[in-house]
Structure 1
Amino acid sequence: MMRILLYPHGVEKNYLSIYLSCGDSSFLPTGCWSKIAKYKLTLKNYYYCGKDKTLEGEYEFSSGKHRSSGYSSFITLTEFHDRNKGFLVNDTYTIVAEVCVENDGHRHPNDNHIMSLVTGNNNDELMDFKGLCRVRKDFVQLLEEACSKHPELVRGVKRKNWSENFTERWFMTLGRVLHFLKSHKDIKDMDDDTYEELQDLWEQLNSFGFDDLIWLEDDVKKYMAKKMRKNVDLEGEKGEFLKVELRLCHLVNSGQYGLV
């Protein structure tokens, strides 16, 4: 069983470090052994097709050697954390390892194991969505309904020519917003943490730079307005302040701007 070892702050200063390891010894052959493995380590790019960062290597794993191989200086932390580079999006990144073990006549059940690490997603819970990407199964119906009512969603994604990974992240974030709104229709049951969750989700969705979301923005604003109404204390300065905020929200929604 091969594993990915990741050092987000680097082994060498200012670099992301990634290694391939033999993993748990219970999966390894007993006695003296050796295996020559060819491998690729890839840091996926969410923004740009063909801009993944890939390094290849070959290493002889054996009972008498250090059981990991990789790169202490895979990519600079500056480039990795640069939001415009496309490697780290919404605090999420994807690393894929492809491994080919040469057969020496003593084949082990875990030879030629191809391993991928996709942050936050279980492939068993994902399914194809319109041939564009894979999304969570519980988001599919919500996304289908949204795309049926607003066909500009699919057209806009195709027009932007995003990578499959970036498209997946966008549809997953949209699915989370839709799922949230469906699951929290009763504002009386909401607390401040849940309200902040919606704000965070909406900010994440807007960070992708997709313009055709006016229909959803209206729903989110209505929800936030309801939350303000719930919190209005009609006595004291707090109540007066919140009533002013609510009035401003109404002005913005009606296309008017000003102070009350």
Structure 2
Amino acid sequence: MKNQNTKDKVFQMFTWTLTNFPSYVCQKEYLKTFTVDGYTWGIRIIRAATEKLYLSIILDSVSGWPPGCGKFANLKFILINQLNPTRNIIKGISHTTFNPRNDHSRAIYASADGFIVNDICIVELHISVYKSDHEKQGESLRNIDNKLVQNTEENFSTKKMISNSPGEVVDFRGIGKVEKDFIPLLEEVCSRYPSLIDSKKKNSKKFTEWAFTALGRVLYFLNIKKVRDMDDDACNHLQTLWEELEICGFDLSWLKPHVQSALDMKTCVEKVFNVKRWEENVITLENDVAVLEKEIKNLTTKMIEAKVNLEITRRDLVQAKEGFEECDLDAQLTYMVNHNS
């Protein structure tokens, strides 16, 4: 079990190794309980009696929860392929309120090998539990003065990221003060979606200011950023802003697709830069080939000239040998005629 707890959410990862999990056709049920954020949860896995592996994974709350209690959570179920992790099967349940009256399930159909090895099946559960509006409001009221627009990632580049330091604040529709840069954006969306204002009429002024500041930060991010800006840091920052906004209790169904699209731009940006890099590589190689072809052409010309000169020199050599008598270059020169009697 791994924990990654933060101020606003509790994250835990559980790995459940199911032993004596037969590979033959049968129907079995497995049950396990665990504790997250002080509450006991139960996970049931039901294997259907089918030839291929078919699982129903059910998460439900068990006894001991206070009446009327609910927990807002995101879930991810992962069926591990023990032979090839890249073939893991992932199913998720996002932005759902869990309570003792309901359970939530996902079906997993595994048609490939590797999910059952030596009668062992492995399932991971990732669960993020968020504080309720009531819990968050109480905490926000205590800390709003010095943490309203705190930088959540201190190492973000100020050139790339939106600064979270407070700017000039002005009144927004008489419900609270927010940063001046956010006002035009908030006016536009609140005129189109009046429920944004209506949903905060029963909240305190401080909480309302905090909520509309959180909304303004997301809108401002989407308004000033370009596709090319969506690198790892920008995506992580937007994800943080979005998670902070989600706990404010707004109906964000109209905004969620735009945020998701912006987060998905990381992949698009990577592809664009990859294509550009390959295009640059092609241009470089084409230039190299052109240079080599020119060198080959020059060398070919020089080779032809050398062959012509060789033939001319050979003809000159033949002409030079005409009427030529060989002589011993090492013979001794003399100055007298030797007379023998």
Using the size of structure 2 for normalisation, the TM-score is: 0.33
Using the size of structure 1 for normalisation, the TM-score is: 0.43
Kindly name which structure, 1 or 2, has the bigger radius of gyration based on alpha carbons: 2
